[in-house]
Amino acid sequence: MTGLPLLQAENLSAGWSRAAGPVIGPVSFRVQGGEILGISGPNGTGKSTLLAAVSGAAQIFSGSIMLAPGARLALQMQQVPELDGVPLTGEELLRLTGAPAAGLPPWLQSRLFERLDQLSGGQRQCLHLWACLDAPGEVVLLDEPTNNLDPAGVAFLIMALRQRAEQGAAIVLVSHDREFLVAVCTRIEEVGQ
Amino acid sequence: MNFDLVFDSMFLQPFFIGLIFAALLPLLGCYLRLREEWLAALALAQMAAAGALLSLLTAVPLMAGGVAGAAVAVLLKNAVEGGQRKRQGAAYALLLLIGWGVSVLLVSNLPVADRVGHALFDGQLYFTEIPHLIAALVCAVTVLGVLWRLSPQVLAAHFFPDFYRSRGGSARRIALVFDGLVAASLALATMSIGVMSAFALIFVPPWLAWRHAQSWRGSLFWATGIGVAAHVLAFVGALLFDQPFGPLLALVLAIVGLVAAVWQRMHDAG
């Protein structure tokens, strides 16, 4: 760890339109390489909006976000695009973000060349998460990553997150699953209180 | 039936023009299907036909008029959508109505437009000339070259929209470049094989390919193969039975599609 944050937010207020006003903030946080920061809070407190503001999808009304020079973001929001009927394999999906297949658990490795619409919702979610988590990049942002995952999927996710942090990535997780955050995060910030 | 016609060198040029579009349009159709924009193909083809007919009022060549019509359609589509996918269907429906309305009015009021209009809607493949072949080749090389580079971005913007945006990618820019490729291809195809057969090539082969292919790359090969096979069948059938090519190609594709859908349903049920 260098001690310098890879991602930093200072008094950030963000939302989706000027008319509707800010959904979250002011909020401040900083994440260094090797850290896993959990953002927790009740539904409707703007946790997802916070990540959207970092990615540039939501508007920043005040405050600032600073990404370390040269640091690349890898972001996965809650909604996974419709895959039913689309002839895309897991291997082709991973290639889109540059994530290597090595490191996937055997129960996903063996199905990598099958169409995604032949996999379960949890398997698809795992592949989507892996595609972002293991894509070349220094800052990883995941929104509600445990959605649709069974216990095996959650266990795999926790292991993968720890490995990625050990490799030096700064990770921000937004989740309503307090138990999951406690299990994996080095620090948890509460919002909306 | 005169089998010698099939091997007559006179029909070689139209055969290759049709072949180029039979391979190219299904390829683009796969990406249009992914973006849920396959209806756009019909709207763009109609607008291309309207543009070509409007060019009869000016000194603009027919092909340039068609491309201009499709280009106007892309601009109007983007103006109506404003980047919001939920407005997409309305934009295509409006363009379809405009294209059809302008075409029918011109055909009704201009004697020369009546002949050209029939050619555009029935397909005039046998009357295509060297400029059509050159335009088709240039279009194919350009589309394949651009699509080779654009394909990973189109797929990434679709399957990982937030990831793609967070890496500085612009889904809007990708959409504009892709729309341009589709508009140019459909306009030129409409001038050669007609409105409905161009639409049939965009819609049916990808629809069938998506059901059977086991990968994205596989779906591109399947779609192209189905398009080419349907073209060969329709071309030979049109020559042997002295029928217009466009409707025959649309019928071949529609019948293959229907049979495949019914067979699949029976297979799933049984």
Select the residue of A72, A89, A115 nearest B167 (Cβ to Cβ).
A72
Which residues of B fall within a CB distance of 8 Å from A54?
166
Q: Which residue of A lies nearest to B167 if distances are taken between CA atoms?
A: A73
The stretch B87-98 carries a mean pLDDT of 82
Q: Calculate Rg over the CA atoms of chain A.
A: 17
CB contact under 8 A, A96 and B34: no
CB contact under 8 A, B163 and A74: yes
Calculate how close chain A gets to B219, using CA atoms only, in Å. 7
DSSP state of A89: B
Q: How far is CA B139 from CA B12, B117, B135, B181, B211, in A?
A: 19, 23, 6, 8, 28
| pTM of the full structure | 0.89
Q: pLDDT tens, B214-265?
A: 999 999 999 999 999 999 999 999 989 988 888 999 999 999 999 998 988 8
CB contact under 8 A, B165 and A97: no
Q: Residue A172 is encoded by which pair of tokens? A: 């921000």
Which class is B12-195 in CATH?
Answer: mainly alpha
Is residue B60 very low, low, confident or very high in pLDDT (cuts 50, 70, 90)? confident
Q: Which residues have CB under 8 Å from B42's CB, separation 6+?
A: B92, B96, B195, B199
Which residues of A fall within a CB distance of 8 Å from B158?
81
Calculate how close chain B gets to A71, using CA atoms only, in Å. 10
Q: Do B91 and B73 form a contact (C-beta atoms < 8 A)?
A: no
Is residue B86 very low, low, confident or very high in pLDDT (cuts 50, 70, 90)? low
* CA atoms of A95 and A115, how far apart (whole Å): 14
Pick the closest to residue A79 from A22, A132, A128 (CA basis): A128
- Where exactly are the structural domains of chain B? 12-195
Give me the pLDDT at residue A193, please.
63
CB contact under 8 A, B152 and A96: yes
Which residues of B fall within a CB distance of 8 Å from A72?
167
